[in-house]
Amino acid sequence: MQENAVLKSLLERKSIRRYKPDVPGEDVIETIVRAGRQAPFAAQLGSALLSRERERHPFKAPLLFTMLVDVHRLERVMAARGWARKSCDLATLLFGIQDAAYMAQNMVTAADALGLGSCFLGMPPFRAAEIKKEYALPDRVFPLVQLAMGYPAEDPPPRPRYPLPFTLYEGRYPEDDQASLEAAMAVMDEGYLAQDYYRKAGVMVKLEGKAEETHHFGNYSWTEHMGRKWGQWLTDPQAVLEQLRACGFDLTGGAEQAPEEEQPRS
């Protein structure tokens, strides 16, 4: 395939966790956000909040974007037209997650085109109440993901991905096949071991309970890491629902009514 800068950026995507001290200029920041704004959307339910407090950021990145599912803004627009939202919070959130995620990916791709690196940070939904207080978010604004961003001070290799046949299905979902499963797992595990990823990062998820540890950095790799994370963590949905409630979302009922002074005209 002919060399293409956009495809190269997408196919060689990697997370950056070390940044140069240089701070991107205002024109660079605005271009990145404008590219995010042009992402496909259901209702422009994504917005971005920028922090420049480098010393407080993960990896001391010069920029930290918090990508928001911004239903509050939609409700203000609707109220200006005399409407109140009746769509339930669950449906609205699902569309909002799509909008904010598309926006975030556009921003990451734009940043790469401008010579910046970035790292997606996926924990904001699980500390949403803390982020709401920190940034004075109004109700019905939910932090979906954060983007650490700046000029990279490292050049790690792209991390392995599942083989294409284990990712692209045509016509119907395939029947379970042990051989293809084992082949895909081998691609991931051998790839991460070849990069010595977990040893360099010093990361091994601890086994909970009294299970005996049988792994070491010589054989601990991606599939075991995924198994330990999703086999032990985030077992109580109430913990997530509490974070959503703290941000003004109720997934058990319909849309919450706006305060009396914000009620739309009849």
Query: Where in the chain are the domains?
Result: 5-156+236-257, 164-232
First to last CA, the chain: 59
- For the cut 70, the answer to whether the pLDDT of residue 127 exceeds it is yes
Is 3.40.109.10 the CATH classification of the domain at 5-156+236-257?
yes
* φ and ψ at residue 19, rounded to 5 degrees: -130, 150
pTM across the whole model: 0.92
Strands 117-121 and 63-70: unpaired
Q: Closest by alpha carbon to 43, among 20, 71, 64, 17? A: 71
- In the prediction, which pLDDT does 83 show? 98
Tokens of 155: 């050049």
Tokens of 146: 């954060």
Cα separation of 259 and 116, whole Å? 42
Task: Give, in order, the Cα–Cα distances in Å from 40 to each of 63, 101, 103, 241.
Answer: 24, 10, 8, 28
- pLDDT cut 90: percent of the chain above it: 92
Other beta carbons within 10 angstroms of residue 18's beta carbon come to 15
Q: What's the pLDDT band for 254 if we cut at 50, 70, 90?
A: low
| 37-80 pLDDT tens trace | 999 999 999 999 999 999 999 999 999 999 999 999 999 999 99
| 177-232 pLDDT tens trace | 999 999 999 999 999 999 999 999 999 999 998 889 999 999 999 999 999 999 99
- In the prediction, which pLDDT does 255 show? 59
